[in-house]
Amino acid sequence: MRGVVVAGTASGVGKTVTTLAVCRALEREGYEVQPAKAGPDFIDPSHHAAVVGKPSRSLDPWLEGDDGMRRTYARGEGDICVVEGMMGLYDGDTSTARVAALLDLPVVLVADARAGMQSVAATAYGFRTYADRMGIDADVAGVIASRAHGGRHAEGIRDALPEELPYLGRIPPSDDLEIPERHLGLHLGDEAPLSDEALDAAADGIRADALAAVAREPGWDTEEFEVGVRAEAARATDSDGPTVAVARDEAFCFVYPSTLDRLESLGAVSYFSPVAGDDLPDCDGVYLPGGYPERFAADLASSPTLPALADRAADGLPVFGECGGLMALSESLTTTDGDTHEMAGILPADVTMRERYQALDHVELRATDGTLTADAGETLRGHEFHYSSADPATDARFAFDVERGTGIDGREGLTEYRTLGTYAHVHPESGAFDRFVSRLTD
């Protein structure tokens, strides 16, 4: 599968809208598009999925390792993979430039053109040459001008670009292309999708065939990874392993597609909605992903699902909650309005929402004892981003020491019975979900 990375000169230049316009433009030309996102984000991929109609793959070498990231890429299906970058091209420890280099994919640079023409070309040329200074094999192979008017404005940018940096189109300035934001980032794709009319207008400015010509096959052996992916998919069709109940609704919506793929290959998956008050399915274990439990705290507090989950957890049912899952498993959740709602009461902590984020980083955890997702002494890599703080009881037990990141006062993984709750999100390439499923039959 050919691919291209849509990267920005900085955060806020319109990468997400540009990525969506590129996907729409390529689809209109008959290409099957596989969307993807560099980094650990859950929100931008929801917009990709809303437009393209298939899950967007998360590509992060910290979470997945280099080979794990390539396996995730190999899970995709289509003619062209469109990877949305994170922050500016060279920003961060695991930068978009590094992701592009590890995947051996060309970069299409999104440059904000609101107040420039020739300067846009100078900026793009600087980004292309800066790769050598950074020692990163990032190939900036084309430019899209964001918030650029047509006519003389677009022509000036196009004519100023050097031959080795082709002009691949523009995104017009339009209020209809603004995606609302809340804490944790943009609204989700199914909450605030761009209108078809606005997205079509943006796609009109993309030179789809020229962009498709820039996309290329990765230089590494994709077949090696695709064999493993096919074997995993085959196991998912006839697996007789344990059943995992997975919460899926507006409160528990942050889950990597690869996680569901992996769980389905290791056993059976049964979905349920705590917000809707669903009965807890017959299962051997429960996974509560992250999301927005604070937005649905009253619904969760009145839902019969959480008391049922508490009863099953007390009987020894393994339960794994990440971030929002941790919050729902706690004693209580207090919103920024000061309203306190009872949660499942499994984990001995009270959670309070704050006005600004409390943690944002890649994390590394070391298990102090054997737990649901790791053996004693084993390390897990993940990601944390949350606006809540947890106040654990003085006798609370933790499964991990934090070697990088914030956690909960330098520790992580509140544990009670056979329940584990962490602020950290982990990817299946870490081995955490294999370990979790293996615990269900212990």
Token pair for residue 50?
């809303």
- Global pTM? 0.93
Active-site residue (options: 23, 81, 283, 323): 323
pLDDT at 183 over 60: no
Share of the chain above pLDDT 90, in %: 85
Confidence grade of residue 441 (pLDDT, cut at 50, 70, 90): confident
Average per-residue pLDDT in the chain? 93
Q: At residue 90, does pLDDT exceed 70?
A: yes
pLDDT tens, 210-258? 999 999 999 887 776 766 666 666 666 556 789 999 999 999 999 999 9
- Rg, Å, the chain Cα set: 22
In DSSP terms, 408 is beta-bridged to 411
Domains of the chain: residue spans and CATH: 2-223 (3.40.50.300), 239-439 (3.40.50.880)
Give residue-wise pLDDT tens across range 1-25.
Answer: 999 999 999 999 999 999 999 999 9
CB 396 within 8 A of CB 437: no
As given in the structure block, the two tokens for residue 145 are 């001008």
Q: In the numeric block, which tokens belong to residue 90?
A: 């060279």
Tokens, residue 268: 């059976």
Task: Assess contact for 368 and 380: CB atoms under 8 A.
Answer: no
pLDDT at residue 207 above 50?
A: yes
CA 234, CA 249: separation in Å to the nearest integer?
A: 27
pLDDT grade for 179, boundaries at 50, 70 and 90: confident
Q: What is the pLDDT of residues 287-342, one digit of tens each?
A: 999 999 999 999 999 999 999 999 999 999 999 999 999 999 999 999 999 999 99
For Cα atoms 181, 187, 192, give the angle at the middle one, nearest 5 degrees: 115
The reply to whether 23 belongs to the active site is no
In the numeric block, the tokens 């943006």 are attached to 202
Rounded mean pLDDT, 356-380: 96
